[in-house]
Structure 1
């Protein structure tokens, strides 16, 4: 089950963390994976590590904020590999500041990176998927779109809209053989959350608030990505799956 041999998977934001773990998991299931990030050097190192495990991999350096560059890079991938079967649209950006002092310019930048860029790149890839009559589109959502959190007003707004977009796209793309879903990660131990690992107060809160009383690992998200990318998930679309140890499901 979940054999992805012969399929091509593009994973944005995949030089490290959740994106890298997802690309690795997809590759170990047989997919040819295309790694994306802004730095070619970082991507080369990630690709080399995957190749040592027998994963078929290419790199596609581009910045998701540059939509024209992103679309050109996707077209180059299609020219090279012939198709894109799976998109895990994971790259995103963040800005933390209290609502009352949050600059509108930053709000618009975060909305652009976490919503507009996702829409534009995803739509472009969906055109090719529709022509081949098959595709899997998976977005990284957020539990902050399910439960509010201070100081990330733009991010929360963008991810909430992204969750809505998942449902709308599922309604529109299903007849073309494309499923569209999102994963909403909880607190996952990555380089981006490193500053919280050693925060005693935060870890006490996490132990009290998360039913499983632990941090998630990138592989926890990666396994959900493999499921949503597989042919076996053909009847699952328009869904947002929280992978968060139960954080968003209960009041504690």
Structure 2
């Protein structure tokens, strides 16, 4: 192991869903640790500002279009990334979506949108990038899950099913590719404000309700994920595979208090 096992200098990472939100935070963390990036979005133009930001750090950045619901698009992205950068060392499988509805209101199309994006897309992107990793005998695959990988929430039926599936898929791929020097882990954020859920955070009553159930007494901040993604992408985690790392402030420990709070 190198002197600094967290150093990613000389590595290249693919980060999907990098046009906004947590995908950009993952990219920033990997670039700060020394990695060059391949960033993807359904619309390449949406990546221009982020590409310029990372290039200002002195990193090489390749921006590519990717629709994870389209198998042809996945393969074109993987081929273009390999042609532009050669070996891909790290994959952050971040692209995802959500539909918030009571279970009785979820449509066939709602279900397919979420599962095709979050679960099927995760598998086939991992397959496309992982093929080269297996051939070379090295790779770090980081599938992005959620606290819903281990807990169910009303109104999130398709999303919970997809993220639970990502957790199980991660273990399967870890078993499959471990003999070839490829680790596969799931990074599972808790409650972080994103474009998908920002309307919730604008409701103070709901926010107080949430914070009361998080042992660290605050929602996640984007920077809270940086150390975790670098750890899983680096040689510091070389003997860690098939695991789900929850970065959730402790909410997954359980949301029901077993004692009465003391009065002032």
Specify the TM-score bucket, using the shorter chain as the normaliser: over 0.9
Structure 1 residues without counterparts, runs of 5 or longer: none
One of 201, 210, 213 as aligned partner of 1:209: 213
Cα separation, 2, equivalents of 1:14 and 1:68: 19
Cα separation, 2, equivalents of 1:141 and 1:207: 21
Are 2:101 and 1:97 aligned?
Answer: yes
Q: Is the 8 A contact 2:74 2:128 kept in 1?
A: no
Indicate the residue corresponding to 1:109 in structure 2: 113
One of 85, 108, 127 as aligned partner of 1:81: 85
Indicate the residue corresponding to 2:261 in structure 1: none
Indicate the residue corresponding to 1:192 in structure 2: 196
Structure 2 residues without counterparts, runs of 5 or longer: 258-264
Q: Which TM-score applies when normalising by structure 1?
A: 0.96
Cα separation, 2, equivalents of 1:200 and 1:215: 13
Q: How many residues align?
A: 252
Deviation track 1:173-226 (CA, whole Å, cap 9, x = no partner) reads 111000000011111133333222221111111221001111211221222111
Measure how far apart 1:100 and its partner are.
1.4
Are 2:127 and 1:123 aligned?
Answer: yes
Cα separation, 1, equivalents of 2:81 and 2:148: 33
Q: Is the 8 A contact 1:67 1:120 kept in 2?
A: yes
Cα separation, 1, equivalents of 2:104 and 2:207: 28
Q: Which TM-score applies when normalising by structure 2?
A: 0.92
SS of residue paired to 1:160: helix
Cα separation, 2, equivalents of 1:135 and 1:175: 11
Cα separation, 1, equivalents of 2:243 and 2:146: 13
Indicate the residue corresponding to 2:246 in structure 1: 242
Cα separation, 1, equivalents of 2:222 and 2:62: 21
Q: Which has the larger radius of gyration?
A: 2
One of 173, 176, 180 as aligned partner of 1:176: 180
Q: Is the 8 A contact 2:74 2:124 kept in 1?
A: no
Q: Structure 2 matches for 1:25-104, cutoff 5 A?
A: 25-104=29-108
Measure how far apart 1:63 and its partner are.
1.4
Measure how far apart 1:28 and its partner are.
1.2
Measure how far apart 1:73 and its partner are.
1.3
Deviation track 1:60-94 (CA, whole Å, cap 9, x = no partner) reads 12211112112111111101111111000001011
Cα separation, 2, equivalents of 1:97 and 1:197: 17
Q: Structure 2 matches for 1:9-28, cutoff 5 A?
A: 9-28=13-32
Measure how far apart 1:133 and its partner are.
0.5
Are 2:123 and 1:132 aligned?
Answer: no
